[in-house]
């Protein structure tokens, strides 16, 4: 048996990877680098995860220097700062082909369930003494989506790379007798719209009064496409439950946002999990600066997008938005469409239901008359993740105490679920960047280069991170997100692996230059 480098695979342990999106490909690549021969199960017929089925006009949300593989940079031929969906998919496919990852993937193979078989029960204190504890095996039940036949694989370790933005749509709860069944038009989720190609999507919305519920990235992109097709004759209505600090660009008042939030100095202004007395004092002293950074960015967004004119100024701070991983880029020309009347913003509708004619908002007698309603209301990522486990106990572990954030040590491992890691579920400001270093950390752990603390120490660390997330996300604490502390998080991973966490040359660069993927190339 040989790995992707042509060397003999000497590892006897079997590793299963669930999903061939970005995180799954990275997990495969770094497992191969350590001599393992992983099996990747992908339910679709191609790689790329969310990038295979997204609104066609969608572009990368993060500037591409911060969204690239550390050892496979963007080619010079890609000049756009925010590449489109097709360019992004081609980049991912090129990466997979370059490192010969595709031959390890079993396409059209959907993982139905995971169940853990223990050989013995020596007590929870030894769950993570080694990566491969020899205490048990995972049974991975896989269905061929073409023949519907199922097969069970027995493996030593599972890496779950399902992601949180697919498969299980988040459908709002509606008042009694005011659900979609009341509506005489059609109701779909943005997930279903995203599966259509450009021509099919245009034909689907053409000539219809479309209402979109949601004001994050998919909602704005779909609104733009609908307004392009139907114009001012049939304006697209966007129902907004919460205004957000969606950014027009990453250069507030001409200053790079990365210099405000992606360097070590900026992280000094934030209280960090496990910080000592000195860092605690510095974060307290610099708190006015933290406030000033936020107001500086907010003023730019308010000015450039004319948020006050449109009644779209959020009540929370930009730092809350960043800490919750809720930042979205406004499509170019979006508010021009609002000005011309092809997009109508229906603001601050906390609750809504349906009538025969369309959407009914609280406190408004007249419905938003519609032929088609598209729910851009996100996904139930935790529901999807927890239900892959057969064990009710493991399902409870995944859901955590509040069913919002999955409690993971180093955002990768649940202390009470042995021989399993979850990659790509916890977010950051640049998910590819974060997934890669986590996969490298996991590969080093699987290779026996370091050991994990005991369960109680891991749970204590998780609680510290949870405290940070709640402190800075406030009421928008709804998901696993390291937000404004990606360098601090990466420092911990580097120290575990025995790497020097300081990756820059020179004191000024170390403290004031932004950190990106290429800083972690080896």
Residues 359 and 427 in one domain: no
- Put residue 333 in one of left, alpha, beta given phi > 0 → left and psi -120 to 50 → alpha: left
Determine the pLDDT at residue 478.
67
pLDDT along the chain (522 residues), means of 10: 47 93 97 97 92 80 93 95 93 97 97 88 64 85 97 97 82 88 94 90 96 92 95 94 92 95 95 95 96 97 95 92 90 94 83 90 84 92 90 90 79 95 89 94 96 95 92 78 91 97 96 95 84
Is 512 contained in some domain?
A: no
Tell me, yes or no, whether 194 and 331 share the same domain: yes
1 lies in some domain: no
Whether residue 411 is contained in a domain is answered as yes
Q: Are residues 206 and 115 in the same domain?
A: no
pLDDT of 430 = 84
Query: Is 506 within the bounds of a domain?
Result: no
Residue 204: predicted pLDDT? 96
Same-domain check for residues 388 and 368? no
State the SS3 of 338-403. Answer: HHHCCEEEECCCCCEEECCCEEEECCCCCCEECCEEEECCCECHHHHHHCCECCHHHHHHHHCCCC
Of 401, 430, 451, which closes a domain?
Answer: 451
Residue 412: give its domain's CATH number: 3.50.50.60
Q: Does residue 429 sit in the same domain as residue 297?
A: no
DSSP 3-state of 154? strand
Residue given tokens 């245009």 in the structure block: 202
Q: Which domain holds residue 156?
A: 12-164+378-451
Say if 2 falls within a structural domain.
no
Distance CA 335, CA 484 (A): 28
Count of domains observed in the chain: 2
> Do residues 300 and 261 share a domain?
yes
CB neighbour list of residue 439: distance below 8 Å, 6 or more residues apart: 23, 26, 27, 29, 30, 423
Same domain membership, residue 385 and residue 360: no
Residues 20 and 152 in one domain: yes
Q: Are 33 and 122 contained in the same domain?
A: yes
CA distances from 227 to 207, 211, 311 (A): 11, 11, 21
- The reply to whether 218 and 360 lie within a common domain is yes
Question: In terms of Cα–Cα distance, which of 36, 30, 31, 41 is closest to 13?
Answer: 36
Which of 225, 245, 244 has the alpha carbon at shortest distance from 236? Answer: 225
- CB-count burial class (<10 Å; 0-12, 13-18, 19+) for 375: buried
- Domain assignment of residue 274, yes or no: yes
Q: What are the beta bridge partners of residue 160?
A: 18, 422
Same-domain status, 345 and 219: yes
**How large is the greatest C-alpha to C-alpha distance in the chain, in angstroms?**
71
* Burial class (CB within 10 angstroms; exposed 0-12, middle 13-18, buried 19+) of 113: middle
- Cα distance between residue 198 and residue 193, in whole Å: 10
Last residue of a domain, one of 355, 373, 391: 373
**Which residue bears the tokens 């890609």?**
78
Among residues 189, 140, 169, the alpha carbon closest in space to that of 372 is found at 189
The answer to whether residue 394 is domain-embedded is: yes
User: Do 57 and 156 have their domain in common?
Assistant: yes
Q: Report the pLDDT value the prediction gives residue 2, as an integer from 0 to 100.
A: 46
The answer to whether position 430 is within a domain reads yes
Q: Which of 416, 432, 451 is the last residue of a domain?
A: 451
Gap between the terminal Cα atoms of the chain: 26
Q: 508-514 long-range contacts, Cβ below 8 Å, gap at least 24?
A: 510/264, 511/263, 511/264, 511/265, 512/259, 512/263, 512/264, 512/265, 513/259, 513/263, 514/66, 514/256, 514/258, 514/259, 514/262, 514/263
CATH code of the domain covering residue 309 = 3.50.50
């Amino acid at each position: 048996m040989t790995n992707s480098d042509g060397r003999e695979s000497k590892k006897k342990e079997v590793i299963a990877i669930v999903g061939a999106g970005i995180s799954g490909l990275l997990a495969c690549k770094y497992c191969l680098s350590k001599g393992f021969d992983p099996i990747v199960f992908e339910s679709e017929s191609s790689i790329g995860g969310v990038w295979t089925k997204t609104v066609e006009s969608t572009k990368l949300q993060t500037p591409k220097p911060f969204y690239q593989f550390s050892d496979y940079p963007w080619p010079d031929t890609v000049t756009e700062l925010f590449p489109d969906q097709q360019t992004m998919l081609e980049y991912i496919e090129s990466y997979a082909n370059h490192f010969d990852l595709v031959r390890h993937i079993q396409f059209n193979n959907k993982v139905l369930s995971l169940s853990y078989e223990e050989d013995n029960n020596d007590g929870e204190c030894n769950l993570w003494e080694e990566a491969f504890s020899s205490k048990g095996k995972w049974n991975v039940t896989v269905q061929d989506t073409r023949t519907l036949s199922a097969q069970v694989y027995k493996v030593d370790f599972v890496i779950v790379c399902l992601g949180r933005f697919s498969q299980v749509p988040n459908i709002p709860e509606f008042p009694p007798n005011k659900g979609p069944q009341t509506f005489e038009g059609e109701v779909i989720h943005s997930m279903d719209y995203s599966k259509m190609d450009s021509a099919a999507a245009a034909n689907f919305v053409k000539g219809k009064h479309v209402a979109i519920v949601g004001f994050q990235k998919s909602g704005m992109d779909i609104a733009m496409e609908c307004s392009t097709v139907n114009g001012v004759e049939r304006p697209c209505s966007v129902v907004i439950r919460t205004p957000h600090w969606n950014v027009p660009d990453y250069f507030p008042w001409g200053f790079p946002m990365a210099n405000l939030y992606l360097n070590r100095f900026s992280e000094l202004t934030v209280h960090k999990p496990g910080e000592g007395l000195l860092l605690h004092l510095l974060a307290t002293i610099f708190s006015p600066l933290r406030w000033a950074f936020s107001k500086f960015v907010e003023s730019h967004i308010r000015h450039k997008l004319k948020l006050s004119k449109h009644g779209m100024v959020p009540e929370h701070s930009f730092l809350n938005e960043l800490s919750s991983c809720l930042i979205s880029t406004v499509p170019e020309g979006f508010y021009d469409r609002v000005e011309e009347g092809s997009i109508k913003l229906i603001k601050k509708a906390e609750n809504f239901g349906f009538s025969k004619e369309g959407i009914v908002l609280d406190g408004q007698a007249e419905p938003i008359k519609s032929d088609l309603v598209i729910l851009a209301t996100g996904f139930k990522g935790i529901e999807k993740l927890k239900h892959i486990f057969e064990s009710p106990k493991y399902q409870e572990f995944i859901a955590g105490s509040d069913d919002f954030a999955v409690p993971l040590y180093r955002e990768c491992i649940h202390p009470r679920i042995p021989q399993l890691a979850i990659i790509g579920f916890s977010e950051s400001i640049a998910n590819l960047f974060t997934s890669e270093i986590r996969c490298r950390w996991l590969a080093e752990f699987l290779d026996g280069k370091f050991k994990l603390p005991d369960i109680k120490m891991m749970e204590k660390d998780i609680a510290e991170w949870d405290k940070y997330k709640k402190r800075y996300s406030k009421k928008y604490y709804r998901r696993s997100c390291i937000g404004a502390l990606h360098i601090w998080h990466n420092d911990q991973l580097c120290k575990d692996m025995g790497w020097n966490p300081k990756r820059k040359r020179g004191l000024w660069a170390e403290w004031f230059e932004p950190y990106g993927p290429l800083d972690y190339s080896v």
